[in-house]
Structure 1
Amino acid sequence: MKKRKFGLALSLVLAAGTILGACGNKEEEQGGGDGASKEEANIKVGLVTDTGGVDDKSFNQSAWEGLKKFGEEFGLKEGEGYRYLQSEKEADYIPNLGQFADGGFDVTFAAGFLLEDAVQTSAEQNTSANFALIDSLLANADGETVWLDNVSNVTFDEHTGSFLVGVIAAKTTTKKKVGFVGGVDSPLIKKFENGFKAGVKSVDPTIEIVTQYAGDFNKPENGTSIASTMYTGGADIIYHAAGGTGNGVFTEAKNRKANGEDVWVIGVDRDQHEEGMPENVTLTSMVKRVDNAVYEISKMAKEGNFPGGKETVFGLKEEGVGIAPTTENVSQEALDLVEEYKQKILSGEIEVPKTDEEFEAFEASL
């Protein structure tokens, strides 16, 4: 079936002070906001997290921040008009999605490609309920895209944002060796890896890049172990795309910096500058504006324009991906080069690779 794409411009406004430290079990309802003197919206929106939890400091947390921003702006009561359910295990996905559908929620967001099968099952069973799958497209057993009118498919050009932080890594490394830690080896996370490697190699093809996958998005101890091996092996910068597992990368980097080692972490999905404190180990982050995507899709649904049966792509042009606003540890030379490469990507002069095969061809062309 021919793929349909739906473009969407994003807002540049960054909501400050919305970081949520809440946690709890998957059945927990959140306390209410006052919603005073704000426009009221007759809509209910929900979020189902993957097993990383809503306070993963990364993907899920960003999604919740976007939902929270929407709810507060339009006067919804937290826990009633908008709320989340945490998935402790894969078996929780369908019951959690079904709970929102049965509760009359107008849109239920599924945070991450791991919920793809659960969303398809739930959408087919609840045809009057709308779902928004973040980070993936529905597919059948043959890998062909499946379009359902009650499912909005939200994707990002993670490879282009990863390219830009790769440029920063290449301009910053003093050991000419950097690392990449992925969560689950999948086509999605391969986009992060290959975009990052392409950015590094575009600046300096002689830089060595080591990669490893943790096999999980919620195992910080795995992140710590992998980071320890990489830093010990000579890498001085590690880019992680591993959700909660990436928290372990920060732990290892902070311990080493406290002992005098000059090492860095590149964060993912949201500005992870604070995760590197107090040792200040966050070089930069590849921000993936999941919060903006959740906010914008919610707003469209409120206005009666839910983009069901379509793919909504958030890329560099839509400012859905890029480098974090915190740049205190990045040289001006690196920032200038990032802007130069960004324009080349936007103009089509550079086509950033997504897959291993595309990266091999890209590297061979340098």
Structure 2
Amino acid sequence: MTLTKTLLGAAAALALTSGAALADPAIIFDLGGKFDKSFNEAAFNGAERWAKETGGSYRDVELQSDAQREQYLRNFAEKGFNPIVMAGFSFATALETVAADFPDTKFAIIDMVVDAPNVRSVVFNEQEGSYLAGIAAAYAAKGDTVSFVGGMDIPLISKFACGYAEGFKSVKPEGKVIVNMTGTTPAAWNDPVKGGELTRAQKSAGSEVVFAAAGGTGLGVLQTAADEGMLSIGVDSNQNYLQPGSVLTSMVKRVDNAVYDAFTQGENLETGINVMGLSNDGVGVAMDEYNAALITPEMKAAIDEATAKIISGEVVVHDYMSDESCPAF
């Protein structure tokens, strides 16, 4: 009997060890879904790239409500998925609780810092890429007015708006940047009708180029801009293809790389704060066949010059989140 128990114990231990060694990663997408053509979809693309390159498998889930954040996190941790990636800052409170309960599980949160020994916090210098988008808008606009449509009215989105305004005013110091946010709740990420309404109002106020940092709401901005004869700027994923000839560029945020890197490191995920900016290809502006006709040599040269100066430190773009102020507003 003792021998049987010992053998069974050893088998169980081996099974647990094998399971741990081969633990699959998991990702939880934020409200708006993994096919939002923006932030969540960039995260999904990173997970898919990892799966295709490695032949590995992962589990994913799309939130339907804020109340599910801790539930899904805890469920994945209990089932042994490792690491678990969260696409979005709104997971922070739930993660603080769950990470403490599962110290042997690694977690990665995108767009927020959670101080825990088993958490990687991935943040982006969105202001740097947005600065380049502002330069593009300044060269594309015949007049002196452009605009910005944000999703939820939070400091992170003002970070995009501020960088955009700084870049625009580096070319047109007396210019005007109209800034509107869609709302104050998570529903603001998925309201394309409201995005379209704001875009039309901005055009009436003189805007020629609109930058949308609004998740699914931004799809309404891009569509309306195309309908109204304005130029638009996409965000997070490369959205140039959505309205060819109307999307001036997209401020890409390499959320895909953040997910891919986390999945690749697996259970050996390096924790702490990971900052992604222009210097490590974390952000940038998209150039491809869909916007080639809109990018003039002068615009491209100005963007390249600003990129080099930001990377070298000669130009420091203000981070709105550092003091919740913007010198360009």
TM-score, scaled to structure 1: 0.79
- Measured in 2, the distance between the counterparts of 1:325 and 1:129 equals 39
Q: What are the ranges of 5 or more consecutive residues in structure 1 without an aligned counterpart?
A: 1-40, 139-146
| Aligned residue number for residue 113 of structure 1 | 89
CA contact (8 A) 2:104 2:118 kept: yes
Other-structure match for 2:274: 312
For residue 151 of structure 1, what is the aligned residue in structure 2?
Answer: 119
The residue aligned with 1:13 is none
Offset, 1:128? 2.4
Give yes or no for the alignment of 1:188 onto 2:151: no
Equivalence for 1:240 = 212
Two-structure CA RMSD over aligned residues (Å): 1.6
Q: Does 1:137 align with 2:113?
A: yes
1:47 paired residue number:
27
SS across alignment from 2:98? helix
Is contact 2:222–2:233 with CA below 8 Å preserved after alignment? no
Distance 1:130 1:221 in 2: 39
Report the TM-score, using the length of structure 2 for normalisation. 0.87
Instruction: Note the C-alpha offset of 1:358.
Output: 5.1
Please say if residues 190 and 354 of structure 1, whose CA atoms lie closer than 8 Å, have aligned partners that are also in contact.
Answer: no
Q: 1:67 matched to which residue of 2?
A: 47
Which residue identity does 2:69 align to in structure 1? Y
AA in 2 matched with 1:313: V
Counterpart for residue 70 of structure 2: 94
Amino acid at match of 2:75: Q
Offset, 1:357: 5.9
**Larger Rg computed on CA atoms:** 2
Deviation at 1:48, TM superposition (A): 0.7
Matched residues in 1 for 2:150 and 2:42: separation?
18
1:176 aligned onto 2:144: yes
Distance (whole Å) between structure 1 residues aligned to residue 241 and residue 219 of structure 2 = 12
Structure 2: distance between partners of 1:330 and 1:125: 51
What amino acid sits opposite 1:48 in the alignment? Answer: I
CA shift at 1:199, angstroms? 0.2
| Aligned residue runs from structure 1 range 143-292, under 5 A | 147-215=115-183, 216-256=188-228, 261=229, 263-277=230-244, 280-292=245-257
**Once the two structures are superposed, what CA deviation does each residue of 1:70-96 show, in whole Å capped at 9, x if it has no partner?**
1111112xxxx2132000110111112
From 82, 85, 88, give the equivalent of 2:58.
82
Query: Displacement of 1:284 after TM fit?
Result: 0.2
Q: Is the 8 A contact 1:270 1:324 kept in 2?
A: no
Residue in structure 2 matched with residue 348 of structure 1 by the alignment:
313
Partner of 1:298: helix, strand, or coil?
A: helix
Alpha-carbon distance in 2 for matches of 1:241, 1:272: 12
Structure 1's 357 and 109: CA in aligned 2 closer, same or farther, altered over 3 A? closer
**Hey, what does 1:12 align to over in structure 2?**
none
Quick one: distance in 2 between partners of 1:201 and 1:88? 40
Instruction: Please state whether the residue corresponding to 2:152 is helix, strand or coil.
Output: coil
Q: Percent identity?
A: 36
In the TM superposition, residue 354 of structure 1 has moved relative to its aligned partner by 1.6
SS at match of 2:148: strand
1:124 aligned residue: 100
Residue type of the partner of 2:175?
I
Q: Write the distance in 2 (CA, Å) between the matches of 1:334 and 1:43.
A: 48
Question: Following TM superposition, where does structure 1 have runs of at least 4 consecutive aligned residues deviating by more than 6 angstroms?
Answer: none
Indicate conservation of the 8 Å contact 2:87/2:110, yes or no: yes
Give 2:317's aligned amino acid. Answer: V
Q: Does the 8 A contact of 1:63 with 1:290 survive in 2?
A: yes
Shift of 1:240: 0.8
Which runs of 5 or more structure 2 residues have no equivalent in the other structure? Answer: 1-20
Q: In the aligned structure 1, how far is the partner of 2:217 from the partner of 2:324?
A: 26
Letter matched to residue 241 of structure 2: E
CA distances 1:192-213 after superposition (whole Å, capped 9, x unpaired): 1111000000011121110010
Q: In terms of mean alpha carbon deviation, does 112-121 or 160-169 score higher?
A: 112-121
User: Greater CA deviation, 42-51 or 53-62?
Assistant: 42-51
Distance 1:287 1:295 in 2: 16
Count the aligned residue pairs. 300
Q: List per-residue Cα deviations over 1:9-48 (Å, max 9, x = no partner).
A: xxxxxxxxxxxxxxxxxxxxxxxxxxxxxxxx93411111
Q: Going by fraction, where is helix more abundant, 1 or 2?
A: 2
Report the alpha carbon displacement of residue 318 of structure 1 after superposing the two structures with TM. 0.3
Contact 2:210–2:225, Cα closer than 8 Å, also in 1: no
